[in-house]
Amino acid sequence: MMIKVMSLLLFWCFTSQTVSLIIPRRYESIINFGNSISDTGNYLLMGAPAYPAVGKLPYGETFFKHPTGRFSDGRLIVDFIAEAFDLPSYLPPYLGVANGSHVRNNGVNFAVAGATALDPEFFYAQNIGWTLWTNSSLNVQLGWFKKFKSSLCHTKHDCEEYFRKTLFLVGEIGGNDYNFQFLAGATIDQIRPIVPLVVGAIVNATSMLIEEGATELVVPGNFPLGCSVVYLALVESTNQSDYDPTNGCLKAYNSFSEYHNEHLKRELQVLREKYPNARIIYADYYGAAIPLYLAPKLYGFYGGPRIACCGGGGPYNYDLSAWCGDPGSTACENPSAFVNWDGIHFTEAAYRYIAQGVLCGPHASPPLMP
């Protein structure tokens, strides 16, 4: 089994830019928290009220050949991580499993599309609660985990042994805390002061999981917001100096993402000092994604990095009145040639590359596989 796992991981590393012969750390299960970047079906099981199109094609068309509740044409980063560690199957959504008997040797996914790091009450107090997709914030997901824990392990010793071989993924989460406010009209200067609150919620969740027995945790940072099609389409500027000439992205929004990520990295270092027996890994999703915008054709993305594969038209193929899957939208013939899937999320091909950067380096600190 270990030889098979090593072969799978070496395949990943040989197909990424960084090639290294390494002995992988073996995880037997994954427990995931987050939003639509890693939701494998929870939001769809809730009825997908704000985005029902995720329950029909072309979502899922590339790999699964049918919609699964994943906000992409195929697999997500969490799916590629599960593959790399040779888990028996992809992570089932928490709302789709009755008990832990079917997930103990695989893991479970608590992520919900639209989830925020901060509780819904924060957004209602700001009079922007109407923007929320779900009330299943990070705290709600942690509550689900505590409730479900007894289905995974029964005694303290049993839990210690189980969690010692479990990889906890805490996010990506926090991006929606900013998205909902930006799209409601807030400025960067207005939102910058809440970054410590968002980071604090993520760090507190990580600390709680360690107290519950987690010893191996990955905490991703935010993606470059200024490269996201939804921002490029809705925050379009006539001032060319607002765009980075090297990648065509909105400079101010990317700087904001970097500000969040630097704050998160500092707080995670404090957490490492508090819990020296836990391995807390920062996953640099920003660093893993930005090359796709700098030199897309180098990585096989000939469709353009800042155009949605599936959408309702316009210069970025993104239209709020015709989301991917809605009447009036169309999907490209070859999603693997595109970085962006539906204006907000990545294609399977882009997620594969980002996952490689986290699994094989250099976009995980400390390395995921020492």
Q: What is the pLDDT of residues 116-162, one digit of tens each?
A: 999 999 999 999 999 999 999 999 999 999 999 998 998 999 999 99
Task: Give CA torsion, residues 209, 211, 217, 218, to 10 deg.
Answer: 50
Number of neighbours of residue 329 by Cβ within 10 angstroms:
22
Most confident of 11-25, 48-62, 86-100: 48-62
| Annotated catalytic residue 345 | yes
Taking each helix axis as running N to C, give the angle between helix 138-152 and helix 195-211, from 0 to 180 degrees, rounded to the nearest 10: 10
pLDDT of residue 368: 82
- What gap in Å lies between CA 52 and CA 55, rounded to an integer? 6
> How far is residue 5 from each of residues 1, 22, 188, 313, measured CA to CA in Å?
6, 12, 44, 43
- Answer yes or no: are the C-beta atoms of 35 and 172 closer than 8 Å: yes
Strand-strand pairing, 310-311 and 279-283: unpaired
Stretch 237-253: mean pLDDT: 96
| Annotated catalytic residue 326 | no
DSSP state for residue 344 in the 8-state scheme: S
pLDDT of residue 82: 94
pLDDT of residue 19: 34
Of the candidates 248, 116, 137, the one whose C-alpha atom is nearest the C-alpha of residue 179 is 116
Domains of the chain: 26-302 (3.40.50)
- What gap in Å lies between CA 204 and CA 199, rounded to an integer? 8
> How far is residue 141 from each of residues 51, 54, 145, 324, measured CA to CA in Å?
20, 21, 6, 27
Q: What is the mean pLDDT of the chain?
A: 92
pLDDT of residue 23: 39
Number of neighbours of residue 188 by Cβ within 10 angstroms:
14
Stretch 248-254: mean pLDDT: 98
Question: Using CA of residue 350, residue 93, residue 32, residue 39, what is the dihedral sign?
Answer: positive
- What gap in Å lies between CA 299 and CA 5, rounded to an integer? 25
Q: Is the pLDDT of residue 1 over 90?
A: no
37 alpha carbon, distance to own chain's centre:
3
The helix/strand/coil state of 310 is strand
pLDDT of residue 88: 87
Strand-strand pairing, 364-365 and 279-283: antiparallel
pTM for this one? 0.94
Of the residues 260, 263, 345, 363, only one is catalytic, namely 345
Give me 267's structure tokens.
């707080």
Give me 5's structure tokens.
């796992």
Residue pLDDT, tens place only, 284-303: 999 999 999 999 999 999 99
Of the candidates 222, 218, 219, 140, the one whose C-alpha atom is nearest the C-alpha of residue 178 is 222
- What gap in Å lies between CA 358 and CA 363, rounded to an integer? 5
Q: Is the pLDDT of residue 13 over 80?
A: no
Stretch 271-291: mean pLDDT: 98
Give the chain's end-to-end CA distance (angstroms, integer): 19
| Annotated catalytic residue 16 | no
For the chain, give the number of residues. Answer: 370
- Answer yes or no: are the C-beta atoms of 94 and 143 closer than 8 Å: no
Ramachandran angles phi, psi of 281, nearest 5°: -105, 125
Of the residues 36, 38, 72, 336, only one is catalytic, namely 36
DSSP state for residue 9 in the 8-state scheme: H
pLDDT of residue 26: 78
pLDDT of residue 24: 54
| More confident position, 169 or 19 | 169
Q: Is the pLDDT of residue 366 over 80?
A: yes
Of the residues 39, 73, 86, 342, only one is catalytic, namely 342
One-letter amino acid for residue 30 of the chain: I
> How far is residue 25 from each of residues 31, 36, 79, 166, 279, measured CA to CA in Å?
16, 27, 17, 11, 12
- Answer yes or no: are the C-beta atoms of 160 and 224 closer than 8 Å: no
